[in-house]
Amino acid sequence: MDGEVVGDRTDAELLAAHVAGDADAFGELFARHRDRLWAVALRTSGDPEVAADGLQDGLVAAFRRAGSFRGDAAVTTWLHRVVVNACLDRLRSAKVRRAEPLPDDLDEAGRGSHLTATDGSDATLDPAEHGLRSERRAAVLAALQQLPAEQRAALVLVDMEGYPVAEVAVMLDCAEGTVKSRCARGRARLAVLLRPLMDEPDESEPTPVTGNPAATPDVGSLSPRGPPGEAAADPA
């Protein structure tokens, strides 16, 4: 089969080919979604090492369990579910609790998040405005790490990655109402943690409503950017 045909295969076709014994299909599928899977793993775990381990655990599990995929959801939904659950398992077993911002170099590549990958606004900012936005992203990351892992995962998937609540419920294997509840509680906690940030005037944007601890910060617009690098070895 020539390269053009291989490149045109859908996610479902690639997964089916992997199950049928195609040695290259899973690697192509992973390469197609690597950036976003890494971004979700990093923001869910809050620690690059835990994220790398969780991503690798998830990909190994997906590689081995591909035959159990029944097509009830999109392949990307299934992949995210496996990776997020692997990260949550790592967090629970290690009882990881970190509140410091991630390293600055994780915000340099401009890839990873569905929202930030399509947001070219940083390119139009002057250095001072760019620095302010970077500081705000770091503050959001630090605040996210103070949330329970399940709340953080829901917020990352809904607010930062832009997935519908129904799809996130499938990823997290819970009811839609549970996702909404986790997001609501997480946003309320972030509003308290990020109140100084929301009260801080921003000359480059319309002045936000201030002094309201119940106000919800725009987590999506401040989402950090994280390059995938070589976070996980090929499961094969």
Task: Give the predicted TM-score (pTM) of the model.
Answer: 0.66
pLDDT digits (tens, 9 = 90+) for 133-156: 667 777 777 888 889 989 999 999
Name residue, tokens 């992973």.
Answer: 30
pLDDT digits (tens, 9 = 90+) for 88-131: 998 887 654 444 444 444 443 334 444 444 444 445 555 556 56
Give me the pLDDT at residue 8, please: 81
End-to-end CA distance of the chain: 21
**Report for 85-94, 138-147, 175-184, 199-208: range of highest mean pLDDT:** 175-184
In the numeric block, which tokens belong to residue 27? Answer: 């690697």
pLDDT digits (tens, 9 = 90+) for 19-34: 999 999 999 999 999 9
Measured CA to CA, the distance from residue 80 to residue 62 in angstroms comes to 10
Give me the pLDDT at residue 10, please: 95
Which of 77-91, 176-190, 191-205 comes out lowest in average pLDDT?
A: 191-205
pLDDT at 209 over 70: no
Which of 54-58, 99-103, 152-156, 157-161 comes out lowest in average pLDDT?
A: 99-103
Measured CA to CA, the distance from residue 228 to residue 231 in angstroms comes to 6
173: how many CB neighbours lie within 10 A of its CB? 10
In the numeric block, which tokens belong to residue 115? Answer: 């929202």
pLDDT at 177 over 60: yes
Give me the pLDDT at residue 124, please: 53
∠ Cα 93 111 27 (to 5°): 70
The string of DSSP letters for 30-88 reads HHHHHHHHHHHHHHHHSSHHHHHHHHHHHHHHHHHHGGG--SSS-HHHHHHHHHHHHHH
CA proximity to 39, closest of 66, 96, 95, 79 = 79
Query: pLDDT averaged over the chain?
Result: 75
Confidence of residue 165 (pLDDT cuts 50, 70, 90): very high
Q: Looking at residues 38-64, what average pLDDT do you find?
A: 93
Measured CA to CA, the distance from residue 33 to residue 220 in angstroms comes to 20
Domains of the chain listed by start with CATH number: 8-98 (1.10.1740.10), 99-225 (1.10.10.10)
